[in-house]
């Protein structure tokens, strides 16, 4: 049984296989209607539970569509449906679900919920997001970069903004895929030191640069994310805007990167806050390819977990 919990805990050769398989499956579907089943149906007769303690658009739709294209069926459950960890322990929920389904994807808040689910489930578990990491998103980002710009190994990726869960997964990926990573943002929103140290221990250059203009010099990829989470209280919004305003990705900032540098954002975006519309809709932006590639990357992850 194979879980996909984090990029840094998945073997590099498996990560490369997932990316290559995702690219191949996307190519094979080119020009087909979205509802057309894949030529291979490796999830036929498989049931996949999709658990959403935290709401989602891209994660829910991409996993649901992906399972169907691969020939399987989905059971979508919200936190309200399950009251996960409240009326019943997570361990018992994991044991029960394992009797009904072949694979579990969970999008939750606390990392410990994911860990307990994986520890007690007897079917594979996929991390759809926690407050600490977002590995499926970064697998789609790696796929998107290589689709447009070739191998990511040895390239420079710059993250501007909040050192959040998505950044943590970028740090995990830097160590596994061998690219350099620069974080630029205020000290109050620095990423977890452990994520940076682990990537450095794998031989890649991971730096913090407070000056965003200096940080993006020579960048092959510039990435940002929302300044405020959907669950942040109103009182936090103004404070975060004040802290992060200098780190907005705009045309002037992108001009400091390489001419062919890509721009990514995992979406949803607050246009003209963390990034200007001119950059989002500009020639260097690949945000909608990035969003589409969640589908293909996650299909490859599910196949890897199930060995099919």
Q: Which member of 46, 60, 120, 294 is catalytic?
A: 294
Residue carrying the six token digits 């049931």: 47
Q: Residues 301, 29, 266, 280: what is their CA dihedral angle, to the nearest 10 degrees?
A: 160
Q: Which member of 60, 134, 155, 296 is catalytic?
A: 134
Q: Which member of 58, 107, 265, 303 is catalytic?
A: 107
Token pair in block for residue 85: 């960890």
Return d(Cα 132, Cα 114) in angstroms, integer: 11
Q: DSSP class of residue 11?
A: -
Q: Decide if 206 contacts 179 (C-beta within 8 A).
A: no
Has 137 been annotated as catalytic?
yes
Task: Show the CA angle centred on residue 114, arms to residues 113 and 115, nearest 5°.
Answer: 90
Has 148 been annotated as catalytic?
no
Has 107 been annotated as catalytic?
yes
Return d(Cα 90, Cα 97) in angstroms, integer: 10
Q: Which member of 225, 248, 296, 305 is catalytic?
A: 225
Q: Decide if 7 contacts 166 (C-beta within 8 A).
A: no
With left for phi above 0 and alpha for psi between -120 and 50, is residue 209 left, alpha or beta? beta
**Positions of E strands within the chain:** 47-52, 73-78, 103-107, 125-129, 156-160, 180-184, 206-208, 221-224, 262-265
Q: Are strands 156-160 and 221-224 parallel, antiparallel or unpaired?
A: parallel
Q: Which member of 102, 176, 266, 296 is catalytic?
A: 266
Has 134 been annotated as catalytic?
yes
Return d(Cα 137, Cα 293) in angstroms, integer: 9
Q: Which member of 58, 132, 136, 137 is catalytic?
A: 137
Residues carrying an active site annotation: 107, 134, 137, 225, 266, 294
């Amino acid at each position: 049984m194979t879980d996909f919990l984090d990029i840094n805990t998945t073997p590099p050769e498996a990560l490369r296989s997932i990316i290559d398989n995702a690219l191949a499956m996307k190519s094979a579907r080119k020009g087909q209607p979205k509802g057309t089943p894949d030529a291979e149906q490796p999830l036929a007769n498989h049931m996949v539970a999709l658990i959403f303690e935290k709401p989602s658009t891209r994660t829910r739709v991409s996993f649901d569509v992906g399972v169907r294209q691969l020939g399987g069926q989905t059971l979508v459950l919200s936190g309200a449906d399950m009251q996960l960890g409240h009326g019943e322990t997570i361990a018992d929920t994991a044991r029960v679900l394992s009797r009904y389904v072949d694979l579990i994807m969970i999008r939750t808040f606390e990392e410990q919920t994911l860990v307990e689910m994986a520890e007690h489930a007897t079917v594979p578990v996929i991390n759809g997001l926690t407050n600490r990491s977002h590995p499926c998103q970064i697998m789609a980002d790696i796929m998107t970069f290589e689709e447009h710009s070739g191998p990511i190994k040895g390239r420079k990726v710059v993250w501007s903004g909040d050192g959040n869960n998505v950044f943590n997964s970028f740090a995990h990926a830097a160590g596994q895929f061998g690219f350099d990573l620069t974080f630029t943002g205020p000290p109050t929103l620095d990423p977890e030191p452990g994520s940076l140290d682990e990537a450095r221990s794998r031989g890649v250059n991971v730096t913090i640069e407070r000056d965003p203009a200096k940080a993006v010099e020579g960048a092959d990829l510039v990435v940002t994310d929302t300044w405020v989470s959907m669950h942040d209280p109103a009182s936090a919004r103004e404070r975060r805007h004040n802290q992060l305003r200098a780190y907005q990705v705009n045309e002037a900032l992108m001009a400091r990167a390489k001419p062919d540098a890509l721009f990514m954002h995992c979406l949803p975006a607050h246009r003209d806050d963390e990034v200007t519309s001119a950059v989002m809709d500009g020639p260097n932006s690949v945000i909608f390819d990035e969003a589409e590639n969640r589908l293909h990357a996650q299909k490859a992850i599910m196949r890897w977990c199930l060995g099919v």
